[in-house]
Amino acid sequence: DVVNLGIGLPTLVVNYIEEGKDITFQSENGFVGIGPAPSEGEEDPYIVNAGGKPVTIDKSGAFFDSATSFAIIRGGHVDATVLGALQVDKHGNLANWMIPGKMVPGMGGAMDLVVGAKKVIVAMEHTNKGRFKILNECNLPLTAKGQVNLIITEMGVIEVTSNGLVLIEINKDFTVEQVQDATEAKLIISEELKLM
């Protein structure tokens, strides 16, 4: 599978992949074959992810221009994207690009990724300073409507379905009640709930 990693928390995913998994990581800045973070002192200033952080390159690695990178994304050649979010709601709506009244550099590639990738995974902290991030309805400007498939936080893994948000995995350090209390939207608890 080809998996795009967005800026922020999603860039860490590559550091936690089990040996032998056949996943090729892509970055919108024109890089495929992202490997884990380099050891201290081994950084190459020219090998960076979309957030500008040093990474390594694996055996499948290649570099290309931004036009080619977005042709891969828009052309449907990305199996999944892992993005950060300011908010996600029970309908799979995503808000991840701006807070009104704050200066932002622009949309970035998120809008292309949510329509070009076959699966959209959000990796984020469950709350922001105690405020809900998983809502009944997003109240920030949307990046996409109904595109999120999966939400992964430090508390659990939540699948977005037509029936609502289903808690399918939970961190052993939290109870179902704690996860629900940190989530504005009502959670459906999977009958096959697993530990993360």
CATH homologous superfamily, domain 79-196: Glutaconate Coenzyme A-transferase (3.40.1080.10)
Model-wide pTM > 0.85: yes
Q: Which of 18, 19, 28, 154 is catalytic?
A: 28
| DSSP secondary structure letter of residue 8 | S
Nearest to 136 by CA among 189, 183, 81: 183
Domain ranges of the chain: 1-77, 79-196
What radius of gyration do the chain's Cα atoms show?
A: 17
Active site residue 191: no
pLDDT tens string, the chain, 196 residues long: the values are: 999 999 889 999 999 988 888 899 999 999 999 999 999 999 999 999 988 999 999 887 999 999 999 999 999 999 999 999 999 999 999 999 867 667 666 667 788 899 899 999 999 999 999 999 999 999 999 999 999 999 999 999 999 999 999 999 999 999 999 999 999 999 999 999 999 9
